Structure 1
Amino acid sequence: MTTASMTSGSGRLPPKRQLQRIVAASIAGNALQWYDFFLYGTAAALVFSKLFFPTGTDPLTGTLAAFAGFAVGFAARPVGGILFGHIGDRLGRKRALVLTLTIMGGATFAMGLLPTYEQVGLWAPALLVALRLVQGIAAGGEWGGGVLIISENAPPERRGFFSAWSQVGVAGGFVLSAGAFYLAQLLPDDAFMSWGWRLPFLGSIAIFALGIYIRAKLPDTAAFEAVQKEGADAKHSMPLFEVLRRHPREVLLAMGLRVAENGGSYIFLAFALAYGKFVGVASDVMLLGVMLSMTVELASIVFFGHLSDRIGRKPVFLFGAIGLVVVAFPFFWMIDTHQTPLILLAFLLGNALCHGAMVGTMPAFFTELFDPDVRYTGVALGHEIASVFAGGLSPLIATALLASFQSSWPVSLYLAGLGLMSIIAVLCARETAVNALARRQVGAAA
């Protein structure tokens, strides 16, 4: 793929003031959507193992079952990526985003109404997993659209900075979900386990209404409108087949880049809460680490996105992937100390630094890998297929390793392996940032 193909098809970009409104609306919409999806991960670590997957006296076994349900949601994400990628490439980015939020909001609210295992037996986990599947389908179409609604409206030379703001919304959703559970846990333990845990889920109905209002007012992207103006020849009846025909290498590269970012983040955010319980660290300290690190990451994401405009997508992403390998062992060692400052530092290194570098660069990097007429499908496919065996399986694999070895070192090895896979993908990818390519061309001419 040529540099021109990466940056062409943008159409008439919106003025700066309108772009700022698009960014603000996208951040809010993404935060509300991912608040819903991330609730399950927090609940799986803290309450679902007891309420929906009771398996005797070993708490790790129940947690393992809860994270299996977590993985099911990720298994559905490629289906959502294909479905909403098709809608986004054929009918528009905005229409796909309204649909994903509607589906996600309904499934999350329904989780808050579910009976527990004690009340209805096996129907409880079965219904929970079914709703998690629905969440997964919606999430599979969400990320690509949330990224493209900004990146396709941004000037190419600042695409890294502007598109990184879409990830601020994702991180904000995690902060909201962790904060909701933190507040719910302030209730007496009996009240929290009886009905308090339901409040973050039931509160999603208000979030759903606000999100739909915000997204309905968003314009579609300049790139999609440019494809529309090109006529029927530019619209493919099956974008999935077209992207696999034209961009198989880019899909594989996107999957490889995604492994460390996605797998590492769910170990730091979901599994870490279960590990904290295993070693006897108070849940409120662990949740504080999640909230603090993700709050700092709101700023680091934008910084790394901006940096990728200046020096290139590859070096910034590579920094994050190498950092993941470096902190794989110290992360758990610091939690083992039971010292709150060191626990907070562990989360800051894992989330705000390593994950922030990768996820801040990823929106622009992925956008520039695919042509506009199949971009939604290509971005969603690479992003969501990798999420199945990266983010979806990482808490499950990490919990199984902990249950088998009663130690964190196998989990650290697994985490380092995820980082190595993405390092290889970065080294195999081409640079796509306009500024970095221009400097490279000037240097070659000199």
Structure 2
Amino acid sequence: MNHALHPDDREQHRKARKAGIASFIGTTIEWYDFYIYGLAAALVFGKVFFPADMDPGVATLLSFATLWSGFIARPLGGIIFGHLGDRIGRKTTLVITLIMMGLATTGIGLLPTYAQIGVWAPVALVFLRVIQGIAVGGEWGGAILIASESAPKGKGILYAAFAQQGSPTGNLLATLAFFALSSLPMPDFLQWGWRVPFLLSAMLVIIGMVIRLTLEESADMQRLMREKKTAKLPILEVLRKHWLVVLLGAGTLPVIHVTYFKSTFALSWATKTLGYSQSTFLSIIVIALIVQFISQPIGALLTIRIDMRKAVAIMVLPEFILMPAMFFAVETNVYWIAAVGMCLATIPHAMFYGAIGGILARAFPTRVRYSGLSLAYQLCSLLVGGGTPLLAQWILNSTGSIVGVAIASALYAVVSLVCTLALLRITGHRASELSTAERDNGDPDAEAEPRRDARIGQTNPA
């Protein structure tokens, strides 16, 4: 059954679609920049930015340590840009993060090697990686909010999924860039080939800036600024009033970081230990990323249609088995078994990732939402994200077996499931209803609209 939309509703839907598409394009560029570092860390940084006579396993471990430095910096970015986003608006903040990311990524592509400047090479690499981390630490929360806060009432989780699609798309572009260069002779790849994906970032950032500058500030943020109700020190308010939600929010996210098990770590393990060629395993990752892109929005659709607790259980429980099984599938050295194993392991955490941004956005009131959302996400990134390939490589170096890595990957899913269910118990578990934080926003029109949209959604699901 179709419903004719009022002109005001049509305009809101137009703005919401524009915000969603702009968020998708912006996060695609940001994640492309972030993910090419992870691929380069697995394939080349150990050889280029550390001494040539260093043990390869140790060089890879140190390369993954530089990767982690970006994750360590991400909470700082979340605090800085969360403050700005809650004070001066989402749009301006997102423009700044995009410029920072583009400059840092292009700079990495121009860095001299260890053979040229010695220890200053890894020092400069870590510095630029930290800038990347600060930028992406402020990007994710803003992109989620510019999409979800512009959405029709009751559809925030669905529109937040636009921004989430930037992650697999950016990862896919990064992987395709390295896949295209994998046919180069190794000396050429080590000398200049690996730099090409980093230098391409400059062009992508220009495209992103043109799109991002046309964005409108979200209606929720416009209202706060108009009424002069923005928080003076959002991070302090978050820590004082919403610290439990921040901790639970961080605890929901380990399962999304299993992507670093299957891309960064698995790429290094498969090519250096199992004998896969670089191009072969990159092609498997490409297939899995296409599966992620397709399956990820299904998680958001499922979450807005049924009790969110059931949706989360449906999405996360299969990961207990499928992620550990992926490692044993890769270990067979049979291409199609490895590809199927990686694709199956991708679907649960991809669906969860499609929904969790919108779930977390509902958990905080508008005036501190950017700070709270960014702090929760980046706290998990600090403790789990960047340390994932490092942990996996250490387990492999210590035991010589992939079993411990498989067990660790399953534990990520356990933590995420428990914390997400606990969070939903506090914030509410139906997408068609206002969350606890949304009821505290002080918007006099907020109570009726979601219920009206919820009734429409029951007749004609969006």
Whether TM exceeds 0.5 here: the answer is yes
Q: Which residue of 2 aligns with 1:382?
A: 376
Amino acid at match of 1:163: A
RMSD (Å) for aligned C-alpha atoms = 1.9
* C-alpha distance in structure 1 between counterparts of 2:174 and 2:235, whole Å: 33
* C-alpha distance in structure 1 between counterparts of 2:433 and 2:349, whole Å: 22
Summarize deviations over 1:341-370 as a string: whole Å, max 9, x none.
11111221222x122121011111011000
Summarize deviations over 1:409-438 as a string: whole Å, max 9, x none.
011111112111112102312244333788
- Alignment pair present for 1:189 and 2:183: no
Amino acid at match of 1:345: V
**Taking every aligned residue pair, what percent have the same amino acid on both sides?**
36
* C-alpha distance in structure 1 between counterparts of 2:323 and 2:22, whole Å: 35
SS at match of 2:202: helix
Residue number among 35, 38, 42 corresponding to 1:38 in the alignment: 35
Runs of 4+ in 1 over 4 A off after TM superposition: 11-14
Q: Which residue of 1 aligns with 2:79?
A: 82
Residue number among 397, 421, 428 corresponding to 1:427 in the alignment: 421
Residue number among 198, 221, 244 corresponding to 1:249 in the alignment: 244
Amino acid at match of 2:57: L
Gaps of 5+ in 2: 1-7, 435-450, 456-462
Please report how far the alpha carbon of residue 329 of structure 1 lies from its aligned counterpart in structure 2 after TM superposition: 2.3
Q: Which residue of 2 aligns with 1:5?
A: none
Summarize deviations over 1:120-170 as a string: whole Å, max 9, x none.
111111110111011000010010011011001112332222211111112
Summarize deviations over 1:208-249 as a string: whole Å, max 9, x none.
111111111111111111211222xx2121100111122111
Q: Which residue of 2 aligns with 1:405?
A: 399
1:75-114 matches, cutoff 5 A: 75-114=72-111
Bigger mean CA offset, 207-216 vs 294-303: 294-303
- Alignment pair present for 1:293 and 2:288: yes
SS at match of 1:15: helix
Residue number among 342, 351, 362 corresponding to 1:347 in the alignment: 342
* C-alpha distance in structure 1 between counterparts of 2:263 and 2:394, whole Å: 17
Amino acid at match of 1:45: A
Q: Which residue of 1 aligns with 2:306?
A: 311
TM-score by length of 2: 0.89
Contact preservation (8 Å) 1:13, 1:153: no
SS at match of 1:390: helix
- Alignment pair present for 1:276 and 2:270: yes
Q: Which residue of 1 aligns with 2:124?
A: 127
Bigger mean CA offset, 409-418 vs 88-97: 409-418
* C-alpha distance in structure 2 between counterparts of 1:141 and 1:193, whole Å: 32
Summarize deviations over 1:83-107 as a string: whole Å, max 9, x none.
0000000000001100001000000
Bigger mean CA offset, 69-78 vs 19-28: 19-28
Amino acid at match of 1:151: S
Amino acid at match of 2:378: E
Please report how far the alpha carbon of residue 313 of structure 1 lies from its aligned counterpart in structure 2 after TM superposition: 3.1
Q: How many residues align?
A: 426
* C-alpha distance in structure 2 between counterparts of 1:286 and 1:407, whole Å: 20
- Alignment pair present for 1:173 and 2:170: yes
Change (3 A) 1:137 1:393: same
Please report how far the alpha carbon of residue 285 of structure 1 lies from its aligned counterpart in structure 2 after TM superposition: 2.0
Q: Which residue of 1 aligns with 2:330?
A: 335
Change (3 A) 1:220 1:203: same
Gaps of 5+ in 1: 1-10
Contact preservation (8 Å) 1:328, 1:413: no
Amino acid at match of 2:361: T
Amino acid at match of 2:151: A
SS at match of 1:434: coil
Q: Which residue of 2 aligns with 1:7?
A: none
Bigger mean CA offset, 96-105 vs 183-192: 183-192
Bigger mean CA offset, 383-392 vs 309-318: 309-318
Amino acid at match of 2:252: L
Contact preservation (8 Å) 1:14, 1:153: no
Please report how far the alpha carbon of residue 324 of structure 1 lies from its aligned counterpart in structure 2 after TM superposition: 2.2
* C-alpha distance in structure 2 between counterparts of 1:329 and 1:19, whole Å: 39
* C-alpha distance in structure 2 between counterparts of 1:196 and 1:112, whole Å: 10
Amino acid at match of 1:336: E
1:8-19 matches, cutoff 5 A: 15-19=12-16
Contact preservation (8 Å) 1:305, 1:361: yes
Q: Which residue of 1 aligns with 2:458?
A: none
Please report how far the alpha carbon of residue 303 of structure 1 lies from its aligned counterpart in structure 2 after TM superposition: 1.4
Amino acid at match of 1:274: S
Please report how far the alpha carbon of residue 398 of structure 1 lies from its aligned counterpart in structure 2 after TM superposition: 0.5
Contact preservation (8 Å) 2:97, 2:138: yes
Amino acid at match of 1:295: I
Please report how far the alpha carbon of residue 307 of structure 1 lies from its aligned counterpart in structure 2 after TM superposition: 1.0
- Alignment pair present for 1:26 and 2:23: yes
Q: Which residue of 2 aligns with 1:364?
A: 358
Summarize deviations over 1:310-353 as a string: whole Å, max 9, x none.
013333333333222212321111001111111111221222x1
Summarize deviations over 1:191-218 as a string: whole Å, max 9, x none.
1111111100111110111111111111
Amino acid at match of 2:85: G
Amino acid at match of 2:413: G
Change (3 A) 1:302 1:421: same
Amino acid at match of 2:300: G
SS at match of 1:370: coil
Amino acid at match of 1:393: G
1:115-154 matches, cutoff 5 A: 115-154=112-151
Change (3 A) 1:12 1:91: farther
Amino acid at match of 2:290: T
Amino acid at match of 2:312: F
* C-alpha distance in structure 2 between counterparts of 1:323 and 1:13, whole Å: 39
Change (3 A) 1:336 1:282: same
Contact preservation (8 Å) 1:77, 1:138: yes
Contact preservation (8 Å) 2:183, 2:279: no
